[in-house]
């Protein structure tokens, strides 16, 4: 247990609803959750700051946390702009940190990585978030939201995790970033093809690498409902850590939080910066 670790969660809504119980599941003590009001005072009461705000607020909160000497876990994408992401990655050096790329902590993804032998990866990810939009949020902001920032950043991170460093070879982006396609060129001649759309009738999140297929078609569980097949045969994967009645994303978040507490391998601000660079490359390549 890590009950001696104190955590301040900065943010409201979905982010806080995952961060706060995730830290508690990891064994830390959450001293409070704050939105726009009172967050500076709260940051001063904890040795870890968990940043669950929209990306445009990450810079201010992270820099204040670092000024107070706190460790930091930040939501993805790391920042609203590449310039801010570069600034934060430089500022956090020497301080234990993490970025919430939760798919790395999903057991089905870890098993996929263990079995991966092909040099070609295809990612196909669709949602209906702009066909049947929910409450207004940053993910639908035409400037800072969209398919790249809300979903593509995850795909870019786990593509690097699976196949190594990458550059954008070619890309297309729809108006308002409703969808995009990109081809990533990895070291050693490997390739990832990514297609993400927010205009689909049915949700699908699928990774294909030769005969290895990881897929989730569940309407409400984005992390725990993946199936893994190899040559059409089901592959057993460990169950996702889960609290009854809690958002299924709490389990992967808790795994990342625990990795930060124990200073083990985890996605860091450097990984967040690399994913942000790929997003920026896609936009520039497609323009």
41-65 residue pLDDT tens: 999 999 999 999 999 999 999 999 9
Same domain, residue pair 174 and 198: yes
Domain range enclosing 194: 103-240+268-286
Same domain, residue pair 45 and 85: yes
Average pLDDT of the residues in 8-26: 93
Average pLDDT of the residues in 62-75: 98
Same domain, residue pair 74 and 110: no
Q: How would residue 160 be classed by pLDDT, with cut points 50, 70 and 90?
A: very high
Above 80 in pLDDT, residue 30? yes
Q: How would residue 239 be classed by pLDDT, with cut points 50, 70 and 90?
A: confident
**Is residue 272 within 8 Å of residue 78, measured between CB atoms?**
yes
Same domain, residue pair 91 and 117: no
Above 80 in pLDDT, residue 137? no
For a pLDDT cut of 90, what percent of the chain falls above it? 84
Same domain, residue pair 133 and 214: yes
Same domain, residue pair 119 and 84: no
Where is the domain boundary, 102, 121, 143? 102
Total domains in the chain come to: 2
Same domain, residue pair 40 and 113: no
The pLDDT assigned to 143 comes to: 66
99 vs 13, higher pLDDT: 99
The count of other CB atoms within 10 Å of the CB of residue 30 is 20
Same domain, residue pair 94 and 203: no
Q: How would residue 37 be classed by pLDDT, with cut points 50, 70 and 90?
A: confident
Radius of gyration in angstroms for the set of CA atoms belonging to the chain, rounded to a whole number: 18
The pLDDT assigned to 285 comes to: 97
Same domain, residue pair 190 and 160: yes
Where is the domain boundary, 102, 128, 153? 102
Same domain, residue pair 157 and 112: yes
- Does 119 reside within a domain? yes
Q: Closest Cα to residue 279, out of 106, 122, 144, 140? A: 144
CATH of the domain at 212: 3.30.360.10
pLDDT in tens, 194-235: 999 999 989 999 999 999 999 999 998 999 999 999 999 999
Average pLDDT of the residues in 257-277: 97
Same domain, residue pair 95 and 112: no
Where is the domain boundary, 102, 117, 147? 102
Q: How would residue 191 be classed by pLDDT, with cut points 50, 70 and 90?
A: very high
Average pLDDT of the residues in 130-135: 76
- Does 248 reside within a domain? no
Residues 6+ away with beta carbon under 8 Å from 222: 205, 216, 248, 249
The pLDDT assigned to 3 comes to: 57
In a 13 Å sphere around the CA of 269, the CA atoms on its Cβ side amount to 25
Same domain, residue pair 272 and 138: yes
pTM: 0.95
CATH of the domain at 59: 3.40.50.720
> How far is 196 from 178, CA to CA, in rounded Å?
9
Q: At what angle do helices 153-163 and 107-115 cross, to 10 degrees?
A: 40
């Amino acid at each position: 247990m890590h009950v001696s670790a104190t955590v301040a969660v900065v943010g409201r809504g979905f982010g806080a609803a995952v961060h706060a119980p995730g830290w508690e599941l990891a064994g830390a003590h959450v001293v409070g959750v704050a939105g726009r009001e009172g967050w500076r005072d709260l940051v001063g009461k904890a040795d870890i700051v968990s940043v669950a705000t929209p990306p445009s607020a990450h810079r201010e909160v992270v820099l204040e946390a670092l000024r107070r000497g706190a460790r930091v876990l930040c939501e993805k994408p790391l920042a609203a702009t590449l310039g801010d992401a570069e600034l934060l990655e430089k500022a956090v050096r020497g301080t234990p940190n993490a970025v919430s790329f939760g798919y790395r902590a999903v057991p089905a993804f870890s098993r996929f990585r263990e079995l991966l032998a092909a040099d070609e990866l295809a990612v196909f990810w669709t949602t209906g978030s702009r066909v049947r939009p929910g409450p207004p949020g940053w993910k639908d902001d035409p400037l800072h939201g969209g398919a790249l920032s809300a979903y593509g950043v995850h795909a870019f991170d786990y593509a690097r995790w699976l196949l190594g460093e990458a550059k954008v070879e070619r890309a297309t982006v729809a108006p308002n970033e409703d969808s995009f396609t990109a081809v990533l060129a990895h070291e050693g001649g490997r390739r990832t093809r990514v297609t993400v759309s927010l205009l689909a009738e049915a949700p699908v999140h699928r990774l294909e690498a030769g005969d290895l297929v990881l897929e989730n078609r569940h309407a409400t569980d984005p992390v725990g409902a993946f199936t893994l097949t190899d040559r059409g045969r089901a592959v057993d994967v460990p169950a996702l850590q889960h609290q009854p009645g809690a958002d299924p994303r709490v389990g992967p978040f808790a795994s990342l939080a625990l990795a930060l507490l124990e200073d083990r391998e985890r996605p860091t601000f450097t990984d967040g910066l690399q994913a942000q660079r790929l997003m920026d490359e896609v936009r520039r390549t497609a323009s």
